[in-house]
Structure 1
């Protein structure tokens, strides 16, 4: 199907992009890698009057060290996350989740900011961002503001971004001594997650001192598994202790039932995948 007609703008700065969005009104859309937007346009599920292509905005690209955190530009591509040494050292969970996104072509075109802004609850990177307690820098006509990952994802395909705002960068705190893993279940290769789990663990003296666990596709937004985290904190780093904590994975979640899985099956998967993710993150045999 051919998309509806639209105007096209290609700004070279963040300020120009914000102006183009403001001038385009509520029917303007940001184009980054296009891996979420283009299929929607082709199906005519969206008909923007203006596409604002931010691919030429240099400020939105790349990874830099900012002392106690990494700052990752919104148009940094999934493939770049996989090979960046700063990400590998300080935020490997992002690379682990990015490796599960689509296929090689999608990873070479799709962007971190595009995935986060699309806010599909079955997407892999939103859960990783929540588990890492990332924060997002947003630019709009009134200037710039920072929103935590916990507050950025509002509802299904809905974020804290206003129509005239763009995501500039993602700030990820460094967590020395933490190890991570992303576990995903899908029925076929390259598919969206039926359920996914992003886990980060800090071990100390043979125990799990702290843990952070976020769930993919267990509600309308990525969710922190707070009951799991509380159960793991201070527990022995053993298979039995992790399995017991993972039993709380679905508490407070409201998973959907759809053509791919029932809500009850997703609750079961959340328990199984949380156990696997935490064991792998913690290096527990």
Structure 2
């Protein structure tokens, strides 16, 4: 009997793949908020969309399965007040329809299907509520705010009781000020475009993390951010992800980590997680 049980659990471990190595969201958040942590965290851009439509339910499930730390998704709000997950201003590129998303009702959007590699799928545009309920208990969520209709967004977060996993990201500091005023416990990620802007963001929000880019990725900038116990977010998107795909791992990591960034957003979460684990800089 014991042998049969052992065999069943072994088969389950193989079938579930990397999900067994995933930390729960409490451990991820504890690490995320720990200024002394040496872990480099991985954020999956528009969910894990290499085999699935971007910002889709299957892509969210895949990010969770892989053991990604932070799920990056884009939120917009329909004309009748329903927050949904979509990057572009229009639905033209990613769905079977055409038009500006925020001028459409949810019922209209629900008639459309997501597109993958130019082909229609059976997947619908997810609501923010669906996405957050999937993420709850598993993964932190970076909400890239593509809307100024924040009351509708905040209502869904409160309804799903996911205040503890959401990180609000925007370059519009007025939007972030509005969110911060609503709840001082929300995690914030202002986008900075210079050292002076990073300084301003820190003074305004005391953020958990600051989003920077390679144009001003310097030891001074990183030191300024970390001095205030914030994490430093950098993107691998584009050339660095291309280097990862090409197997140029030293080149890729060298660019990403040379000055101490400790959260990396990527379109290649599986490759990056494997590499960071091999280098002992991800748990």
Shorter-chain-normalised TM-score: which range?
under 0.3
TM-score (norm 2): 0.26
Question: Which has a greater percent of strand?
Answer: 1
Structure with greater contact order relative to length (CA < 8 Å, sep ≥ 6): 2
